[in-house]
Amino acid sequence: MTELHRLVLLATLLLALPLLVAAQIGRPAAPPRGPAVVLDGRELAVPVTITPGGPLFALRPLVDSLGGQLGGDDTGESYNLKIEATEVVTGIGNAIITVGEEIVSLSQPPVRGEGGPQVPLDFLRKTWGAVSGYSFDWRPEESRLIISRRESREIKVTLDVVHLQGMTTVVLQFPETPRYRINQLPGVVEVQVLADRLAPPARKKVEDSLVQDVTFAPQQIRIQLVPDAEAESYLLDNPFRLVFDVHRKSAAPVPVGPSAAAADLRSSTRTIVVDPGHGGTETGAIGPGGVAEKELTLVLARDLEARLTQRLPVRVVLTRTDDSKLPLDSRTAIANQNKADLFISLHLNSSLGSGAHGAETYFLSSQASDTHAESAAATENVSGAAAPAPDSGQETQDLQMILWDLAQSHHLAESQRFAGLVQAELNQALELKDRGVKQAPFRVLMGAAMPAVLVELGFISNPDEEAKLQNPAYRADLVEALVRAVGRYLEAPQVDRRSTPPLPPPQGAVRSNPGSPTPP
Ligand SMILES: [Zn+2]
């Protein structure tokens, strides 16, 4: 190119420039373009398919931009998406996905398309939206998806503080699951909210013997405990609740001497609370020979205490040591105050016919596993001043369900496991007729914040069993079976209660011998 040519070209460009600029200005604002996905003002290369049911977005490029790991199974039909700690499982053609533990239905199923699997808008909201706090704004008139890091949500929180049988339960309830972290400090539990802001409940004074105060800041909740209290936390779903059980620090006796061995022993010492049923004017069942249930349960409880402490590294607390009347609620209160690892309530059965015999082990359920279990619970529930009248109505039932939900529900799997061991040992030791593990709404088990069972050690209404129960050798066999069951229970690794889903209703009752006939 010569010098002249260059000058001509430059002049032409200079002349044409205003025209070009004018043309640019005069052009309509948005030329017809395909759909777009925009994150923080930057367009992402995400293929989008517009369908009558709404837009579908290619998943892989979104994973690259929003974070997460995407894996597929061998068939290529199912995908596993991990966002932070949450697993999302989704399948081509299936409008149901799982997000963590939750099952979520989508407006339309994911399909295979340009760029691999494509997912609808609500998929994005229920995964990255819920987990990482992104917001997804689809503007149909522009065919654009605007993704932004969501403004912090304002989440309402409600507070309940219930003092229940020696233990205070603090419940923080949220309409949606917040992102949070729990910090346990000496005397204080802090709930730190991560991305969201809290709308605290109306200020109310907490008056409680274990919790001094609960205070709210936009991103923090502080539960202030009294000096010798400590808290354990767990979660409940639907609605989402953070629950804190506040106890006095364990009253376990401190062994003499500061040796490491002693400290080890102390930390491995478990507390078993044994509850001799009835007492005082509450005699319980009376046998045909005149023996009262309350007398036998106390004798059996004392024997059990002696054998347990001899054989196992346990501390045993009896709910009563003499012939005194004790409300049902106080019995669980003693167990909660002592931070018991196990609660065993001892009883003797009665039935109208004199032929019934055998032992039965129960754990708690809101409903009885059969009519016999129901009547056994009804019989035991009338004793104790704090038992509700049968006609006390819906309110009491609701309250009972709350107690049930809070205290015993996350120990049910362990209660069931222990009940199975007790029943198996009793059957084997005594060649007793197997009456199986049963579920029933025993009031004495409600509110127990540890695995808890009620054992009916035989039928005092049966003259043969009444006589046998007065024989120390026979009682020793019963006690020995219970000690073995406790030993086996403590040996085995515990079910992680926080990951234990609630048991199904009592149709799922476990019977170690499904064939055993129904007693008269
Ligand atoms: Zn009883």
pLDDT reported for residue 151 = 67
CA of 68 to the centre of ligand 1 (A): 57
Cα torsion angle, 169, 170, 176, 177, sign: negative
> 505 C-alpha to center of ligand 1: Å?
24
Looking at residue 385, what is its pLDDT? 37
254 part of a folded domain: no
d(CA 277, ligand 1 centre) in Å:
5
Chosen domain end from 86, 117, 149? 149
How many A from CA of 293 to the centre of ligand 1? 7
**CA 284 / ligand 1 centre spacing (Å):** 5
pTM: 0.50
**Domain match, 209 and 285 both:** no
Q: 372 C-alpha vs ligand 1 centroid, how far in Å?
A: 14
**Residue 348 Cα to ligand 1 middle (Å):** 6
What is d(CA 468, CA 478) in angstroms, rounded to the nearest whole number? 11
In a domain, 167, yes or no: yes
From the CA of 285, how far away is ligand 1's center (Å)?
7
pLDDT tens across 338-354, in order?
889 999 999 998 877 66
pLDDT at residue 336 in the model: 83
Cα(431) to ligand 1 centroid in Å equals: 22
Alpha-carbon distance values, 180 to 188, 190, 192, 194, 248 (Å): 16, 10, 5, 5, 26
Instruction: Summarize pLDDT for 163-172 with one digit per residue, the tens.
Output: 766 788 888 9
* CATH number of the domain where residue 181 is located: 2.60.40.3500
C-alpha 374, offset from chain centre: 26
Distance 406 CA to ligand 1 centre (A): 25
Is 420 within the bounds of a domain? yes
- What spacing in Å lies between the alpha carbon of 173 and ligand 1's midpoint? 38
**Ligand 1 centroid, distance to 513 Cα (angstroms):** 24
Q: Is 291 left (phi over 0), alpha (psi -120 to 50) or beta?
A: beta
What is d(CA 232, CA 169) in angstroms, rounded to the nearest whole number? 10
Distance (Å) from CA 145 to ligand 1 centroid: 67
- Based on the fold, state whether residues 175 and 277 are members of the same structural domain: no
Cα 341 to Cα 325: distance, rounded to the nearest angstrom = 24
Total count of domains within the chain: 3
Residue type, 27: R
- pLDDT at position 10, please? 58
Distance 338 CA to ligand 1 centre (A): 23
Taking the centre of ligand 1 as the mean of its atom positions, its distance from the CA of residue 458, in whole angstroms, is: 11
Q: Read off the tokens for 212.
A: 């001094």
| Cα distances (Å, whole numbers) of residue 267 to 10, 233, 250, 286 | 89, 20, 11, 42
231, 137: one domain: no
Instruction: For residue 134, give the H/E element and its range.
Output: strand 134-139
| Cβ atoms < 10 Å from Cβ of 448 | 29
Return d(Cα 367, Cα 490) in angstroms, integer.
28
Q: Are 329 and 447 in contact (CB under 8 A)?
A: yes
- Residue 265 sits in the same domain as residue 298: yes
Give the type of residue at 216.
F
Residue 388 and residue 496 in one domain: yes
**Which pLDDT score is estimated for 168?**
86
Alpha carbons 439 and 370: distance in angstroms, whole number: 8
Q: Read off the amino acid at residue 466.
A: E
Give distance in angstroms: CA of 335 to centre of ligand 1: 18
CA–CA dist 410, 404 (Å, integer): 9
| Ligand 1 center from residue 324 Cα (angstroms) | 15
On whether residue 436 sits in a domain, the answer given is yes
Give the CATH number of the domain where residue 495 resides.
3.40.630.40
For residue 264, the CA-to-ligand 1 centroid distance in Å is 38
Cα–ligand 1 centroid distance for 510 (angstroms): 22
Let me know whether 133 and 192 are in one domain: no
Q: What are phi and psi of 448, to 5 degrees?
A: -80, 120
Pair 325, 465 in one domain: yes
Q: Are residues 141 and 169 in the same domain?
A: no
At 291 the pLDDT is 93
Instruction: Calculate how far, in angstroms, residue 137's C-alpha sits from the geometric centre of ligand 1.
Output: 63
What range defines the domain where residue 431 resides?
260-508
**Å from CA of 423 to ligand 1 middle:** 17
Q: How far is the CA of 368 from the centre of ligand 1 (A)?
A: 16
**Whole-number pLDDT of residue 13:** 53
How many CA within 13 A on the CB side of residue 435?
A: 26
Q: How confident is the prediction along the chain (520 residues), in pLDDT tens digits per residue?
A: 556 566 555 555 555 555 555 445 545 454 457 899 999 889 999 999 999 999 999 999 999 999 899 988 767 778 889 988 788 888 888 888 888 767 778 899 999 988 889 999 999 998 998 878 788 999 999 999 999 886 667 889 999 888 766 788 888 988 888 877 788 888 999 998 876 789 988 877 888 899 999 999 988 999 999 998 999 887 776 778 888 889 888 654 433 334 444 444 445 689 999 999 999 999 999 999 999 999 999 999 999 999 999 999 899 999 999 999 988 878 888 888 888 999 999 999 887 766 677 888 988 776 677 787 888 888 787 754 333 333 344 444 444 444 445 566 678 888 889 999 999 999 988 876 677 788 777 777 777 888 999 999 988 989 999 999 999 999 999 999 999 999 999 987 655 443 333 333 333 333 333 333 333 3
* Distance from residue 362's CA to the centre of ligand 1 (Å): 12
Q: Is there a domain that residue 22 lies in?
A: no
Cα of 377 to ligand 1 centre, how many Å? 9
Residues around the ion ligand 1 (C-beta < 5 A) = 277, 284, 347, 380
CB 156 within 8 A of CB 207: no
Q: How far is the CA of 296 from the centre of ligand 1 (A)?
A: 10
Q: Which residues pair with 161 in a beta bridge?
A: 170
**What residue type is assigned to position 84 of the chain?**
E
How many whole angstroms from 313 Cα to the centroid of ligand 1? 28
* Spacing, Cα 454 to ligand 1 middle (Å): 9
The gap from C-alpha 318 to its chain's centroid, in whole angstroms, comes to 29
Determine the distance separating the centroid of ligand 1 and the alpha carbon of 319, expressed in angstroms: 14
Residues 307 and 361 in one domain: yes
122 CA to middle of ligand 1, Å?
55
178 and 104 share one domain: no
Cα of 369 to ligand 1 centre, how many Å? 18
Task: Calculate how far, in angstroms, residue 278's C-alpha sits from the geometric centre of ligand 1.
Answer: 6
Q: Are both 76 and 158 inside the same structural domain?
A: no
Helix ranges (H only) for 206-338 are 260-268, 293-311, 328-337
Cα distance between residue 518 and residue 520, in whole Å: 7
Is residue 129 assigned to a domain? yes
Whether residue 345 lies inside any domain: the answer is: yes
Same domain, yes or no: 97 and 216: no
In angstroms and rounded to an integer, the radius of gyration of the C-alpha atoms of the chain is 33
Gap from CA of 283 to ligand 1 centroid (Å): 9
Residue 442 confidence (pLDDT): 76
Residue 452 alpha carbon to ligand 1 centre in Å: 15
Q: Which residues make Cβ contacts (< 8 Å) with residue 82, sequence separation at least 6?
A: 68, 69, 70, 71, 88
Query: Among residues 130, 149, 168, which one ends one of the domains?
Result: 149
Closest CA to 443 of 501, 396, 508: 396
Whether residue 2 lies inside any domain: the answer is no
Q: How far apart are CA 483 and CA 304, in angstroms?
A: 7
Domain end point (choices 115, 149, 183): 149
Amino acid symbol at 183: N
The three-class DSSP label of residue 59 is helix
Quick check: 87 and 41 in contact, CB under 8 A? Answer: no
